[in-house]
C-alpha cells in the first residue's frame, strides 16, 4: 500500500534519485544532474517544503513526489537570487533552458498562481499514486487560498499529458516542444 505524506528533510536524497531516474535529459552530459536538482527540486524542498508531498511504499521507500511553488512571483524572486546564479555557472545551455522554463510559467502567473513538478517511479504509475499526490497538493493549496496550478511537460510525453487531463488540466499553450497545462480547482 502506498502512503502519501508531507516531505521531510531526510527525503531529499530519495527525491534526487527519482528526479534522475525519471528524467528525459541526457544524464551523461556534464553538470546535468546538478541542473536537474537546482531546476526541478531544490528550490521547492528548501524554500516551500510545506507544498511538497511524497508517496511511500510499505517499506517507507519514496516512489513518487509532487513539489510546488504556491506563488510564482515569490518563487521567481527567490529563484532568481539563489538558484539561477548557480545554474548560470553550469553553462550557457543550462542558463537558456532554465529561463525558457521560467518564462513558460511566467506567461500564465496572473491566472495560474502556483506551479508544480511531479515524478513517479515506473512501478507505481497508473495505480492512482499520482492522483493521490495531486489531491494532497490541491488540498494544501486550497487551505492557503490558492485555487490554480500550471505546469509544463514535453509535448511528446502523451502519458503525462493524459494524466494531467485526467486531473482536470487543460492545454493553454504549446510552444517549442512544450505543452503548458493549467487547471483551476
CATH code where residue 65 lies: 3.40.630.30
Question: End-to-end alpha-carbon separation of the chain, Å?
Answer: 27
Query: Which pairing describes strands 148-154 and 114-120: parallel, antiparallel, or unpaired?
Result: parallel
For residues 125 and 137, what is the distance between their CA atoms, to the nearest angstrom? Answer: 18
Q: How many CB atoms lie within 10 A of CB 17?
A: 12
Specify which residues 114 forms β-bridges with. 149
Q: How many domains does the chain have?
A: 1
pLDDT at position 16 is 98
pLDDT at position 104 is 84
User: Which residues does the chain have with pLDDT short of 70?
Assistant: none
Q: 140 phi and psi, to 5 degrees?
A: -65, -40
Residue 32's domain comprises 3-184
pLDDT at position 177 is 86
pLDDT at position 133 is 98
pLDDT at position 176 is 80
pLDDT at position 175 is 85
For residue 134 the three cell numbers come to 495531486
Specify which residues 5 forms β-bridges with. 54
Report the half-sphere exposure of 125 (CA within 13 A, side-chain side). 11
> Left, alpha or beta for 152 (phi > 0: left; psi -120 to 50: alpha)?
beta
Amino acid at each position: 500500500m502506498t502512503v502519501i505524506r508531507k516531505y521531510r528533510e531526510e527525503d531529499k536524497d530519495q527525491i534526487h534519485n527519482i528526479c534522475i531516474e525519471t528524467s528525459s535529459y541526457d544524464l551523461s552530459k556534464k553538470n546535468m544532474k546538478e541542473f536537474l536538482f537546482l531546476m526541478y527540486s531544490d528550490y521547492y524542498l528548501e524554500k516551500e517544503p510545506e507544498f511538497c508531498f511524497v508517496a511511500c511504499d510499505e517499506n517507507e521507500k519514496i516512489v513518487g513526489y509532487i513539489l510546488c511553488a504556491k506563488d510564482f512571483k515569490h518563487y521567481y524572486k527567490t529563484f532568481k537570487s539563489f538558484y539561477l546564479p548557480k545554474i548560470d555557472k553550469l553553462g550557457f545551455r543550462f542558463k537558456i533552458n532554465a529561463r525558457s522554463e521560467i518564462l513558460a510559467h511566467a506567461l500564465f502567473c496572473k491566472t495560474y498562481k502556483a506551479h508544480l513538478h511531479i515524478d513517479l517511479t515506473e512501478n507505481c504509475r497508473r495505480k492512482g499514486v499520482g492522483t493521490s499526490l495531486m489531491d494532497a497538493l490541491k488540498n494544501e493549496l486550497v487551505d492557503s487560498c490558492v485555487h490554480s496550478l500550471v505546469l509544463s511537460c514535453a509535448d511528446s510525453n502523451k502519458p503525462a499529458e493524459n494524466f494531467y487531463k485526467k486531473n482536470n488540466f487543460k492545454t493553454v499553450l504549446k510552444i517549442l516542444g512544450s505543452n503548458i497545462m493549467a487547471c483551476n480547482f
